[in-house]
Every structure is written in C-alpha cells, then in structure tokens.
Amino acid sequence: MALKIVKGSIDRMFDKNLQDLVRGIRNHKEDEAKYISTCIDEIKQELKQDNIAVKANAVCKLTYLQMLGYDVSWAAFNIVEVMSSSKFTYKRIGYLAASQCFHENTDVIMLTTNQIRKDLSSPNQYDTGVALTGLSCFVTPDLARDLANDIMTLMSHTKPYIRKKAVLIMYKVFLKYPESLRPAFPRLKEKLEDPDPGVQSAAVNVICELARRNPKNYLSLAPLFFKLMTSSTNNWVLIKIIKLFGALTPLEPRLGKKLIEPLTNLIHSTSAMSLLYECVNTVIAVLISLSSGMPNHSASIQLCVQKLRILIEDSDQNLKYLGLLAMSKILKTHPKSVQSHKDLILQCLDDKDESIRLRALDLLYGMVSKKNLMEIVKKLMIHVDKAEGTTYRDELLTKIIDICSQSNYQYITNFEWYISILVELTRLEGTRHGHLIASQMLDVAIRVKAIRVFAVAQMATLLDNAHLLTGNMQRNGICEVLYAAAWICGEFSEHLENPVQTLEAMLRPKVATLPGHIQAVYVQNAAKLFATILKNQEGNTDSTAAQETSQMMIDRLPLFVQSANLEVQERASCILQLVKYIQKLQQKDVEVAEEVSALFAGELNPVAPKAQKKVPVPEGLDLDAWINEPPSESESEDEQPKAIFTKEEPKHSRPRHTEVDEKELARRREARKQEQANNPFYIKASPSSQKVYQEAPGVEHIPVVQIDLSVPLKVPATTPSHPTGLPMSDQYVKLEEERRQKERAEKKKKEKKKRKEKRSGRGKKHDSGPESEEDITPAHVVDIVTEEMPENALPSDDDDKDPNDPHKALDIDLDKPLADSEKLPVRSHRAAGAPKSSAEDGEAENATPQEPKKKSSKEKRDKKKDKERDRKRSKEEKKKKKHKHEEKEEDLLGGQAEEPVVQSEETKEVEAQPTSTSAEVSDLDFWLSNAPVPSNTQEAATVAEAAPAPEAPAGTAADSEPEEPKDTETEESKSSKHKKKKQKKEKEEKEKKKKKKHHHHHHHSDGGGEESVQNGTVEEEEPLPPMSNYCLLAENSYIKMMMEDADQVCDIQGNLQDGSQVVVSVIFENKSDSFLKSMEFNVLDSLNSKLQRPEGSGPHDGLTVPFQLPPGVSNEARFVFTVQSIVMPQKLKGTLTFIVKNEDSSTHEKLDFKLHFTCTSYLITTPCYSDAFAKLLESGDLKSSSVRLEGVNMPFHHLLARICFHHHFSVVERIDSCASMYSRSIQGHHVCLLVKTSGQTVSIDAKCDEPTLLGNVLDEIKQTFSQC
Amino acid sequence: MVCTDNIDFTIPLQPATDRIMIKFVLMVNRQGQTRLSRYYHSVELSRRAALEADVVRYCLSRKKDQCSFVEYKDFKLVYRQYAALYIVVGITDSENELSIYELVHNFVEVLDKYFSRVSELDIMFNLDRVHIILDEMIQNGHIVETNKSRILAPLTTIDKMVDS
C-alpha cells in the first residue's frame, strides 16, 4: 500500500512535463513565485535520478523557468549530462538549455569540449546541427581554439545543412580566436561560390561582417562580390553585399564608380523596399566617399532624394521613418538637394509619431537659413509647449540650441531674440539640459558684446525670479541657468539698471538651497557687483548708501560661510573679511571703490577649448627632462651596502619621498582640475594672464566678426508686475520682420543708410561678418568674437580608433601566406618517439595553462605590427592608385560600358591560382580600372611607330610615351623610400606582397624589347633595395627572374624529420614587348635536394609555370623542393625555357640560372620566450660557437633588425647593447644567438644542436655584414 | 626597431557585447510576459529581466500609427504586433530595419505553417520547437535561412523521429 503511494507520487512527478508546468503557472497566478519554487524543488529531485529521460524533462522545464528570469545556473552540470545523451531528443533539450543558460564564464563549458567534438563528427546531421547551433551561443575562446579545426572541416561537409551552419559559426570562432581567421579564410572564400544558396548566403554573411570591420583586407574580394551582386536574387543576400560595398568604397573610390550604375539600376527596378532602402543608403555612402566632380553625381543624388521623398510621403510610418533617416545622411554632404524638400520635412514635424518627429528634427539642422530660422524655432517652441514626454521635449530643446548656435551663430540675425528664446526655455520644468542653456547664455553674452546690456537685464530678471525656477531644486536641472545668470550679472555689472536689487536677489537665504557650484558663483559675483555698486555710490556725496550696501553684505554673507560646500565657504569667508575691512575704511571716509574694483578688472575674451593643447612646446624645452637631477644610481649603489649595516631608514626614506612627491603632484593636479572646472573664470580667461597675453602681440590678432544691426538696441522694460517678468521672443520676431520690411523698402529706394556706428570694441580689427546671402542684414552692430587660439597653434588633431573594438583583433592580412605557426591546432596523438628537436612544440602543446595565452599575446603583438605595416602599405597603395587613376582616367570613362561578364572571366583566372597573390592585387586594379588589356595590337602600333626609325629607338619610345618614364622614376624613388622606412620596422621577412607591389612599378613598356641598351639603363634605375630577400636569379633581354628563398613551409602533417620542404618564390618579369608563354622551370636535382614534381612525371621533367606573361608584366610562381640535409648550403642548376611570341613569329628561348640555398633559408622565424630560451640554454645539448664582426657601423637595433630580417631570427630579449635571439630550422634544430656590441665590434655567441649548421649560419651572418 | 622591443601590445580584453547584427529576439504578450527569448550576445540574467521589461514597456506604449522602429539606448528595436503577441528584435544600428521587419513576418508565417494557425499557447507549450525554428532562421545574430520549407525540414524530420 505504502509502496503504491510512493510509486504514484513518483509517477506524478514524472508526468509533470513542460506543458504541465506552463499550465500550472497559469493556474497559480496569485502565488506564482511559491508555485515555481515548489516546481524547482521537484526539478532538483528529478535531476538526482539516474533516468536520463527524467533529467531531460527537468532540464526542459528549467529552460522555461530560465526564460521567466529564474537563475538556473546551479543545474549547469545536469545540462551537460543531458547534452551528452546519445538520444537526439534529449541531446537537443540539453543543447537548447545550454545555449540559453551558458555564457563565457560558465565553468562547466570546459567539460563539454570532447562531447561537442563528438557531436560535430556524428554521422547524424542533426546531431552536428544542434551542436553547431548551441556552440554559436556559448563558444568561448578555449572552445574556439580547440574546435576551430573541426568546424573548419565541417565547412566542406557533404550536407549543405551542415556547411551552412559551420560557415556561420566560423564568424563567432574568429571573434573568439582570431588566429583561426587566416587558416580558415581560403575555405570560407570557396564557400562564396558554393552550389547551395544557403551556404553561399552564410558565407556572404560572414565575410560581409568581417569585411565591414576591417574592409581593407577584403578589397581583393570585390570582383567576386560584384559578380554575386549581379547574379543573386535573394534580397537578404543582396542587402548584405550592398552593405559590404558601402564599407569598401571609402577605401577604393574606383569601386564606387563601378557600383553606381548597378545600384541605380536596382533602385529603379526593385520592388522590395528593404533592398531599395539599402541601395539608396549605399549610393549615398558611395557618393560621399567619391570626390565631387563626377558627371552623373548629382543625377544619382537626385534619384536618391526622389526615392526617399516617395518613402517619406508613404502612409507607412516605417517607410517614412527610414526615408527621413536616410535623408539625414544626404544632408551632410548635399544639403542643397535636401533643402528643396523642406516643405515635406517641416510637415513631418507635425507627425503623430515621436520617432518620426525626432528624425525630422535631425534634418531641420540643415534646413535653416537666416530667413526662416525664427519661423522654424517658433514652430519648435510651440512643440516644446505641447510636448508630452520630457525626452522629446529635451530633444527639442537641444535641437533648438543646435540649430541656432550652428556654425558660430551664422543664422542668427537678432541676438535679443535668441536670448529671449533661451530665457523662455528656462521655463521648462524638469529638463536635463539646464547647463546647455546656461552655456549658451554665457557664450552669447561673452562673445556678442552688443548684446550684453540686454542680456544683463534679462539675467537680472531671472535672478529676481529665481524662486520660480527652483521650485523643486533637487531634480531640476534648470537651476543651472542661474549659474550663468549670476555670472553674467556679476561680470557685466556695469550694465545693470538696478545693481543693488540684483545684489539683494543674489544674497537671498533661498540661494543656500542651490547646488554648491552655483552658490560659489553667486558669492563671487556678489563681490563683483559689490565693487560696481561701490564705484557708483562713491561718486555720490551721500556715503550712507555705500555703507548700507556693505552692511548688507556683512549681514548676508555669514549664511554662505556656514555652507557645507568648501568652495562656497572659502569664497564667502574671504569676501566677508574683505567687506568688513572695506566697511572699516568707509567709516574712516577712505575712498576704496577704485581699489575694490581693481580686484575684478580685466577684459574677457573667449578662449577656444583646445587652445591650451595647441600651444607647441617651445624649442629647447624638454618636458620629460628632470628639473633637478634625481639622485644618481651609482650613489644609491654606494649607499646600499651601508644601509644593510646601519638603519634601514635612509634607504627607505628616499624612494618614499619621491613617491609622496608624485602622489602629491597628482593630487594637486587633480585639485587644480577640480578647481578649474568649477571656476567660471578659468576657461573664459583668467584676467591677469589674459592681459599679459594681450599686451604682447597686441589686440589686433583677435578675430572679430562684425554684424551690422540697424535698429537701435531696445531693451523691453521688464515688467515686475508680470507674473514671470520674462519677455516673449515673439515680439522680436515681429520687430525683426518690421525691420526687414523697412530695410527692403529702403533698399528699393536705394538709399544707402548710414550705419549707426557702434562701440567698435576699442579699436579692434573687424572682419567682414558672415555674408548675408539672402539680402538680410542682421540687426545691430554686434561683434562676434571668435574664440582665441594661440598664434602658433597647431592644426587640429585627429582621433584614434576605439581600441576596444573586438574586431581589431581580426584586422588580419589575409593575402599573406600561412606561416607554420598559424596552422590551426589539430588534436592528434603524438608519435611515441617524438623528436627531441620538437621539444618546444611539445611545450606548446602540453598546454601548461599560461602558455597558450602567452603565445597568443605574442601573436597579437605580431599582428599589431602587421597592421602597422598594412597601414603603411595601404598608404603606399593609395598613392600608387592615385597615380594609376590619373593615368587611366580616360580609360575609366571610356571603358565604363565594359560589362562585368568580361571581368568575371578574369576573376576565375585568379581563383585558379590562389597562391599568387600578386595576380590578385593586380587583377583587382585591373578590374577596377576597367582598362582594356594592354593588347598586342596596341603594342604593335608602338613598335610599328618605332620601326621606321630604328636608329633612334630611344627617341621614339620617348615620343610615344613621353610621360611614362618620368612617372615611373618618381614612383620608383618614392616606393624605395617607403621601402626603406618599412624595412627598418620589419620583423618578419615574409613580406611578399609588398615586394610584389614594388614590382608593379616595373610595368613600363620600354619601347623595343631588343634594345638591350635601353634595358640596361632601366636596370640601373632600380637598385635592389637594401633589405630585400629577393635576389636576381638570372635575366636576359626577355625575362628577369628574381628569387626569394625566404619562404619555407614545412609540411605540418608529415614528420619533420624526413620530409622537409623549402618553397622558392620566383618572380618572372617580362622585359620584352613580346608575349611569353609555355614557360617551363626545371632544376637538376642533387642527391640532397629535389624539385617536387607532380606525380607521374619523370625526375628530369620541368614544371610548367602556371601563367603567361604579357609584355611588361611580372608574376610570381612558387616551387617546392624537398631537402634531405639542411646543415650545408647548396646550389642547384636550373633552366627556364619559354616561347617568345611576336606578331608574326615565335621562338624558343632559354635561360640558365643557379639556385642558392643558404643555411639561413632553412631557418624559420619562431618566437621564443625568455624562460623557454633559458631552459634551452641550460639543457646542455647545444654546441656553441662564436664569431666577431669588426667595423660594423650601424645602430644596434638596425643590426638586430638585419639579423631578424635576413636570417629569420626573432629577438627573445634585449638588454641595452646585448640581445638574445632565437630561430629554428625546418628540421627542428634550435639556434640561439647572444649578440653583444661595443663600439664597432659585434660579437655573436651562438649555440645550436647541429654544429655544422651553426657554422654555416654564422658564416652567412658574417657575410651579410661584410657586404654593408 | 620593431623586432627588438619587448613591449606588450596585447589588446585589452574585449567587452562582452560583440557587435552582432541581431542582438536578441523576444516574444512578449500584452501583459509583458516573456513567451520566448533568445539572446545572441551574452547578457546577465538579472539584466535580461530589466531589459525585457524596459523593451516591452517601450513597445507597448507605442500606438498603432507609430513606426515599428524604436531607438533604444545604443541599438534599435524592430517590433511587430500579432494579436496580443509582440515580437521584438534588437538590432545594431547598421542593420537594415526593413529586412528585419520582413524577417519577423517570415518567422511568424513559418510558425503559422507549422502549427497551422499559431497561437500564444502553441508557442508556450512548444517552446523547444519554436526555438528550433528560430535557430534555423537566425544563427549567431545572422539570418541563415528564409525559405519556409527548408526551415521546417529539420523539424519535421525530428518529429518523425520522435513519433517512431
């Protein structure tokens, strides 16, 4: 019986599935929390059971509870258990729960690695699919590193379902483990042309996303994407691609030109609004990035604006919103085109949807002119009044201020109106932007001198009615305006009508409830006011008034002396004592006003916020130098031993002393900053320093903008009877209109009215004011003093990129060939007899916890350097492109009709040879330039022209292409200069692309090919740059071969000990004007080194070079050699045979060469850490040897750079003039160097486990330095 | 030069919010109860609740005649209302709002096809299935699939597997 009950309850427990839970929650609306807590208890019981079905059910319920906001992280381990169930239905539940609950810091994730790997390789595609989906949610850097290779394999899965998911998740993997990007990229690129559209779209997604962050690395893919864009019908994919192009065009304007046409076609043809919107957006982006002056430029903009107008006019609010959003992008560059739709935009201001109104507000910025500013602002003020929410109202407020203050108050013709607007805005309760209004008031009052009288009057009213503003002070940001009001009244107190009244208002007890910084300003400015009042009153015979004022100060100030705010207290007590002293003097009938006002004398001028920063450091001033020499090191060394025996004190005190100094300094600096922030005088001008400054260069340098105002300044009487006493800005609108009408009438009469001469700023120079484009002359003579800058201010400084962007780590050059160290980690069982040479490998793989991180940090560092180089390179590229661009301008315009079909062929060709990156680059150039291939016919024409006068070939060549040689020359010098700079910085030598770039410069058709003289001269023009690993292999009049032997790739899968490979890159450059084809590269194998030939070919067959060379073109091919022993340098003889094809004939030619494999070329730059390095040296397995170099005359770092560059070492550590370096051979020999320098002597102590190799490497190093 | 200095250029640890196109998908009813949530970047549980409440408040407060895009903090919300159910998608600034708007509709159409006249209850009781559908359509913040039959293919296979 009892058993039955137990069983029954267990059954019930089992029965409660997700549906029951959901129902249960719905049925317990009143005590939901209690119900759920009992459910959770049940679930905990269920999880304790062994039955996986029960567990899965429990986890399923937990997932639901998690969604409701309950923490289920305690069940993480159970989730992992369910994930590892063999039954798919349960596994799925586990993964779903994991994807919802796990995050990067969930520690059980570590346990899942193997399970996920198993699932990824499961024969059931849904197992794999669910694992991939889950992984995309909780992948961690560790998981990414461990699984990258597995996922990469899945990218080539037979099932598109898996491929698609694998491709997408790679993006996450890249983010978490940036090192995986380069190895995985080629395969990712392949997927762009996957037969399955889903996979294709996934690849597009990933690459677009990558490319949008670091566009420059993906420029070479542009042709491929272009093809996709013209062929794809999936709108979602199209949108992605178009977005991508938007990111690429700023880097490559030519791409933009190419895009305009297909994009405008799409705009015309598509019915999908989302696509239309994207196209418009991209066209805008393209046009922004293109320099102006394009012929159909304005047409495209017009088209965009028209389409956007249709969107905005649509009844669909979504379209309206987006239309306005896109419009604002156009506004930035083509304000005129948008302005013509002003009516529509103003209409949107009245839209019922707040989001739309906000967008319209953004646009207003560009809509205003002198003519309509007042009208627009009036409209906005109405909106302000009836705005329902504070957010929108605040937005309106900032917009009003933005619009009015934009470009130095360009559109304001009447500043009285503007001040009134500002004052009206202070009536907004609960706004956050009080400080914004305040700063505007300050700015206008300081910079527009003529407005001061008016402003002061207004501010006095504000102060008088301060209680209205400060109803509920705590959350009311508007009280900030009192800060401005008090300051203006104090500073320009000479304009006050009734200073005593204002002074009284400033010292009211209520003031004490204001925020501290405002009180401080009150107190300080009360003192200024007091000074002014004294001055006024002293003139009078009656001295009692003055004494009364003093008494008032003395009565009221103690309130502030008690303030909790330090600033207020300090100022108040200071001023209080001062006033007391003054009172004493007054009682003795001493005239004090002059002296008191001297306290606050001095003219104010606005200083630009950046002025201080822009003052260049005077010559000879070294801010980092010690003013007093710090105690020298030797001194302390002398003292140290003493200290051990005597008291510790002296030894201790010194460093502490300096430390305190440091802290003290920092503290003072901080305090000063604080003070400056709170001090209204600081930025505006500290009177004394300003004065000094002014006196030195004279006042003429202050730029003053003059605006003519023809109506006399009229301060409307502020009526105290009026409840608020605040003026209505509207009356100024009217006044202004009247004024304008009058002006127009006057203009008609052509009566030149004499402008009323106003106080013209004490003889300051007047610049012509902003020109009134619309016949509106501003009212009043107003000086707008522009902000001051020091005379020798430096030009504006630019900002850097956000360093925290995770995509920064993905800024990786994808064209660079893969290095050995970059292969994705493959988990495999190590061979039992692991070679001792791979000890380091073992270390890395042994996964001591800190090792991988260290490594990655190192790699990141490398990458950073790469980036640096890239940046430089792109600069160079740009220069080059610019140049090419000029050259091909004509072709560009003429050849625009060329259709992408032609180019796609070209693309395929590139795809066929993925290794030759140079081809890709040049191909991109070609694709972009649209130029016709340097066709034979054209070439023939040149030759034909040259033919009639064979005696003067050089002359004709110069005639036919007069510009070319000069261009090339300058370019060459440019590039070589660049090169030198770069090479200094270079660490790794595998900088191939760049060199190839260099070789593009050789594309000059130098007239007749058979003129060897000419070839010779050309040769002389291009000395090999000092640090290149390319060396001339052989050349004749037809072809030049350059070899780089630096690039080794070890077959990572094979055993390092028997199959070592060396890859030789050879650049073939066609120097003739004939077509070179059927090139065959052959090398006579030695016992030790063999050229790898395709299977089935004999040992003496040559290798066909996989390209042909049109005249003047160079290309690179790579050949793989197998090398047995690497301890000795070796030479191989080889021949290149090729066919020279001319117009009418073709001949066989051949060129012999010798390949020189130095021992250095067997070394691979391998980073090594000092601890590993020390271990290696201690191991005692290494033989040592040393070499001395005399007369080396170069800086130490150059020396190191050279060794790194030419001999593939990396620096382990460097201390002063001593450095340890490391490298590893392709067969795993360690080579360690200790380089020391003193004077011109460099000694290198070296250790290696292979003495012969070491000897040879040292000889080669010696040779390198003997050559220079 | 470059090779000789030992300065560590390690990039500081990245902030948790990777720049992902779609940040989350939410299904909430008019009462503000979450019916489905899927985050494509990690958000702490406590912040999820706050975010959801906030987002719902934003969307519910909007009238029918207002546009479906809301600027919310540093990203955008695209929402669509189906009877009492709101589907809200958080996207980054650079995403195309209209395409997400269409995606939401596509999603609902797929649900409709699978559940034949989908209702709020369907979603509540078959949360895991809805998740499968969503995962077929969106993966780590990107649109993967929009073809209805292809989205449903794995789910129907799974259903058959469970049945047998």
CA distance to partner chain B, nearest, from residue A429 (Å): 23
Asked whether the beta carbons of residue B2 and residue A985 sit closer than 8 angstroms, the reply is yes
Q: What is the mean pLDDT of residues A324-341?
A: 82
Interface residue A60 vs chain B (CB under 8 A) = yes
Q: How many helices (H) and strands (E) does chain A have?
A: 52, 17
CA distance, residue A321 to nearest chain B CA (Å): 7
Closest A-chain CA to B12: A804
Residue of A nearest to B144 (CA): A202
B14 contacts in chain A (CB < 8 Å): 804, 806, 809
Q: Which of A68, A205, A865 sits opposite B142 (nearest CB)?
A: A205
Per-residue pLDDT tens over the stretch A898-918: 333 333 333 333 344 444 444
A855 to chain B, any CB pair closer than 8 A? The answer is: no
Task: Give the lowest-confidence range in A300-309, A311-320, A678-687, A1198-1207.
Answer: A678-687
- pLDDT above 60 (res A1051): no
Asked if B140 and A317 come within 8 Å (Cβ–Cβ), the reply is: no
Inform me whether the pLDDT recorded for A963 exceeds 60: no
The predicted structure's pLDDT at residue A675:
58
Rounded to a whole number of angstroms, the distance from the CA of B96 to the nearest CA of chain A is: 7
pLDDT at residue A971 is higher than 60: no
Residue with tokens 């007054």: A586
How far is residue A407's CA from residue A1151's CA, in Å, rounded to a whole number? 69
The angle subtended at Cα A1253 by Cα A1252 and Cα A1256, nearest 5°, is: 90
Q: What is the model's pLDDT at position A1211? A: 80
Per CB-CB distance under 8 Å, the chain B contacts of A60 are: 128
**CA-angle at A991, arms to A986 and A994, nearest 5°:** 105
**pLDDT given at position A1104:** 78
User: Mean per-residue pLDDT for A831-837?
Assistant: 42
Shortest CA distance from A64: residue in chain B: B127
Chain A residue with Cα closest to B23: A137
Overall average pLDDT of the A925-938 stretch: 51
Q: CB of A871 within 8 Å of any CB in chain B?
A: no
Kindly state the average pLDDT of the residues A196-202.
86
Q: Average pLDDT in the A1184-1199 region?
A: 79
| CB-defined contacts A:B, below 8 A | 187
Whether residue A1173 is predicted with pLDDT greater than 70 in this model: the reply is yes
**Which pLDDT value is given to residue B112?**
92
- Write down the pLDDT at residue A181: 87
Answer yes or no: do A320 and B67 touch at CB < 8 A. Answer: yes
Query: Which of B9, B144, B154 lies nearest to residue A202, judging by beta carbons?
Result: B144
| A213 shares contact with chain B (CB less than 8 Å) | yes
Separation of alpha carbons A1062 and A1158, rounded Å: 11
The per-residue pLDDT for B134 is 92
The whole-number average pLDDT for the span A224-239 is 84
Element (H, E) at A1197: helix A1196-1207
Q: Tell me which chain B residues have a C-beta less than 8 angstroms from the C-beta of A22.
A: 124-125
CB within 8 Å: A278 and B8: no
Check CB contact of A440 with chain B, cutoff 8 Å.
no
Q: pLDDT band for position A576 (50/70/90)?
A: very high
Q: Beta A1039-1044 vs A1075-1083: how paired, if at all?
A: unpaired
Which residues neighbour A1209 within 8 Å (Cβ) at sequence distance 6 or greater?
A1163, A1165, A1203, A1221, A1222, A1223, A1231, A1233
Furthest C-alpha separation in chain A = 123
The string of pLDDT tens digits covering residues B56-99 is 888 888 887 788 888 887 888 999 988 888 999 999 887 888 88
DSSP-assigned letters across all residues of A1103-1155: EEPS--B-TT-EEEEEEEEEES--SS-EEEEEEEEEEEE-SS-EEEEEEEEEE
More confident residue, A855 or A1070: A1070
pLDDT tens track for A3-13: 544 544 455 45
pLDDT above 80 for A1218:
yes
A762 phi-psi bin (left φ>0, alpha ψ -120 to 50, beta other): left
Beta-carbon separation of B144 and A201 below 8 A? yes
In angstroms, what separates the C-alpha of A1220 from chain B's closest C-alpha? Answer: 10
Q: Residue A158 and residue A174: Cα distance in Å, rounded?
A: 23
The rounded distance, in Å, linking the Cα atoms of A946 and A949 is 6
Contact A66 B45 (CB under 8 A): yes
* Residues contacting A214, CB < 8 A, separation 6+: A807, A810, A811, A812
Min Cα distance A983 → chain B (Å) is 10
Q: What angle do CA A690, A695, A699 make, to 5 degrees?
A: 90
Share the mean pLDDT of chain A.
70
Whether A18 sits inside 8 A of B127 (CB atoms) is yes
Residue A1245 has pLDDT above 70, yes or no: yes
Q: Using CB atoms, which residue from A171, A198, A353 is nearest to B65?
A: A353
Say if the Cβ atoms of B125 and A18 lie within 8 Å: yes
Nearest CA to B158 among B135, B138, B141? B135
pLDDT given at position A53: 87
Which range in A399-413, A558-572, A673-687, A855-869 is most confidently predicted, on average pLDDT?
A558-572
Confidence of residue A1128 (pLDDT cuts 50, 70, 90): confident
Contact B99 A71 (CB under 8 A): no
Residues 6+ apart with CB under 8 A from A719: A725
Q: B114: pLDDT confidence band, cut at 50, 70 and 90?
A: very high
- d(CA A1029, CA A983) in angstroms, rounded, equals 11
Average pLDDT score over residue span A577-600: 85
User: Which residues, in sequence order, are CB contacts of A1019 under 8 Å at separation 6+?
Assistant: none
Bridge partners, residue A528, by sequence: none
Residues of chain A in contact with residue B12, where contact means CB-CB under 8 angstroms, are 803-804
List of chain A residues whose C-beta atoms are within 8 Å of the C-beta of residue B157: 126
pLDDT at A543: 72
Could you tell me the pLDDT band of residue A1041, with boundaries at 50, 70 and 90? low
> Tell me, what DSSP letter sits at residue A1010?
T
Local confidence band at A815 (pLDDT 50, 70, 90 cut-offs): low
- Check CB contact under 8 Å for A318 and B98: yes
Q: Does the structure show a pLDDT above 70 at B104?
A: yes
Work out the percent of chain A whose per-residue pLDDT is above 70.
64
Structure tokens at B30: 């008019």
A1211 touches chain B (CB under 8 A): yes
Lowest mean pLDDT, pick from A980-984, A1093-1097, A1122-1126: A980-984
pLDDT band for position A804 (cuts 50, 70, 90): low
Min Cα distance A277 → chain B (Å) is 8
Q: Please say if the pLDDT value at position A347 is more than 80.
A: yes
Question: What percent of chain A clears pLDDT 90, i.e. is strictly above it?
Answer: 1
The average pLDDT across A681-710 equals 41
Residue A466 scores a pLDDT above 70: yes
Instruction: Please give the Cα distance from A741 to A756 (Å, whole number).
Output: 18
Do B8 and A1201 count as a contact with CB atoms less than 8 A apart? no
* Pairwise pLDDT comparison (A117 vs A773), residue with the higher score: A117
CB spacing of A213 vs B19 below 8 angstroms: yes
Instruction: Tell me: pLDDT of B109 over 90.
Output: yes
Residues of B in contact with A808 (CB under 8 A): 11
Instruction: Give dist(CA A292, CA A1194) in Å, integer.
Output: 49
Residue with more model confidence, A648 or B113:
B113
A779 vs A528: which has the higher pLDDT: A528
Q: Which two tokens stand for residue A247?
A: 């990111």
Per-residue confidence band for A681, with pLDDT thresholds at 50, 70 and 90: very low
A782 pLDDT exceeds 60?
no
Asked if B98 and A864 come within 8 Å (Cβ–Cβ), the reply is no
Q: Do A987 and B3 touch (CB under 8 A)?
A: yes
CB contact under 8 A, A209 and B15: no
More confident residue, A15 or A538: A538
pLDDT in tens, A990-1021: 444 444 444 444 444 333 333 333 333 333 33
Interface test with B, best of A137, A329, A869, A1223 (most B CBs within 10 A): A137
Concatenated DSSP letters for A264-326?
Answer: HHHHHH---HHHHHHHHHHHHHHHHHSPS--TTHHHHHHHHHHHHHHHHHSS-HHHHHHHHHH
**pLDDT beyond 70 at A573:** yes
Across A140-154, average pLDDT: 90
Q: What's the pLDDT at A326?
A: 86
Within 8 A by CB and 6+ apart from A341, the residues are: A305, A309, A312, A327
Say whether B3 and A317 touch across the interface (CB within 8 A). no
* Radius of gyration for the alpha carbons in chain A, expressed in angstroms and rounded: 40
Mean pLDDT of A1178-1201: 78
Whole-angstrom Cα distance, residue A825 to residue A177?
12
* Predicted pLDDT of residue A924: 65
Pick the residue from chain B with its C-alpha nearest to A60: B128
A933 has a pLDDT exceeding 70: no
Q: Give the residue on B whose Cα is nearest the Cα of A1220.
A: B4
Q: Do A243 and B40 touch (CB under 8 A)?
A: no
At A75-93, the pLDDT tens digits run 888 999 999 888 888 888 8
Flag whether pLDDT at A988 surpasses 60: no
Nearest-Cα residue of chain A relative to residue B78: A318
Strand-pair category, A1114-1123 with A1060-1070: antiparallel
Does residue A726 have a pLDDT over 50? no
Put simply, the answer to whether B49 touches A69 (Cβ < 8 Å) is yes
Confidence (pLDDT) at A1043 = 61
